[in-house]
Chain A
Amino acid sequence: MEKYAILHTIPLDFNMINLTKVKKVFIFLLIPFFCFSLIGCATTYPKDCLRLSEDSLQMRQLQMRQYETTNEREMILASAGVFQDMGFTLDDSETDLGLVVASKDRDATNAGQVAMATISAIFSGLSGSSSDSFAYIDKVQKIRASVVTRLNSEGSKIIIRVTFQRIVWNNSGNVSRMENLNDKELYQGFFDKLSKAIFLEGQKI
């Protein structure tokens, strides 16, 4: 009988605070609703994503070399050879347009990240909680590159341009980074190898 009485009083209590509570619920639901409508499904792109940037001239100097030849096919072959030297596999090519696309998957483990994750795991271990910091350290990366050849405006030399980019996945299998690679040494290294390849192929090696 006592139990029944308690149960019976609860709805009565609710009725008494009904109006203020509805208002509260309403406001609480309205806030996320507004947030949802603001976010929508879209993420916006950077406004200048297809605009020539100020450093495009600098990038051109980094990514482009001229070669004293007019044989585009030979240059495409040499570029494909360099990709193979670097452990890339060819994804696509169109010799008529002077294009070779290649990629490779490599380890992306970074000593600094591992150290930070270890420290974080030790601290959370000491505080008695479990840590998933290792799930967020980089694990695998895909490096992609494309070479495009063309004749210069006088038609006397061949211009070769290469661009690199990479996608990095972390231990939990999510993409952690996607970036265009603009490192000077990388491009320098590629063209050194290309010059060597042209020499080797010229010597029929």
Chain B
Amino acid sequence: MRTKYNVVFFLLIVLGLTGCATTTQRVLDTDQSQVQLRSIQTRAFDTTDKKKTLKVVMSTLQDLNFVVDRADLDLGSVTASKFANNTLLKMTVSVRPRGKTQLLVRANARFGINAIDDPEPYQDFFAAFSKAMFLEAQEVD
């Protein structure tokens, strides 16, 4: 009798532990190193034309079937969304200067309630983007 209850109790605890993360963990999302995430999501381009870069970002997003939600030239950001498998795929791309000759382009996307932090989708995005920019995407350390 006692063994049975112990087993049930043990399993309940294990189930409780496998549940989702706490709010703080969810807000900070620190299950991956910050440096690693940045290098996955960021590329450098040999241009200083922020406006042109943002326009290419928007047309690349449209090529990928996104609807642009908002854009801001001063801030250098574009947010767009599209639907895949009945789920929202939302993406923000930001552009900022790097030194005097380069721009850093950073993209981050979420699918439904999950961040996309694998390298492959970002490689795909930057492949499409650099083709439209006529510029090579450079990896950033």
The number of residue pairs between A and B whose CB atoms lie closer than 8 Å in the complex comes to 146
A148–B68 touching, CB < 8 Å? yes
Q: A33-B15, A43-B114, A52-B128 in contact; A15/B1 too (CB < 8 A)? A: yes
**B residues contacting the other copy or chain, number (CB 8 A):** 53
Neighbouring A residues of B101 by C-beta, 8 Å? none
Neighbouring B residues of A98 by C-beta, 8 Å? 55
A161–B62 touching, CB < 8 Å? yes
Least Cβ distance of B28 to chain A in Å?
A: 16
**A residues contacting the other copy or chain, number (CB 8 A):** 52
Neighbouring B residues of A164 by C-beta, 8 Å? 67
Question: Can you list 29 A-B pairs, Cβ within 8 angstroms, ordered by A?
Answer: A11-B1, A15-B1, A22-B3, A22-B4, A29-B7, A29-B8, A33-B11, A33-B14, A33-B15, A45-B112, A45-B116, A46-B85, A49-B89, A49-B116, A49-B121, A50-B109, A51-B127, A63-B62, A94-B70, A94-B72, A94-B73, A96-B73, A97-B51, A101-B69, A144-B67, A146-B67, A150-B55, A163-B67, A165-B83
Q: What's the dominant secondary structure at chain B's contact region?
A: mixed
A52–B120 touching, CB < 8 Å? no
Q: Which 3 A-B pairs have the closest CB atoms?
A: A45-B111, A178-B83, A146-B68
- B residues at A contact (CB < 8 Å): 1, 3-4, 7-8, 11, 14-15, 18, 20-21, 51, 54-55, 58-59, 62-73, 78, 80-89, 91, 109, 111-114, 116, 120-122, 124-125, 127-128
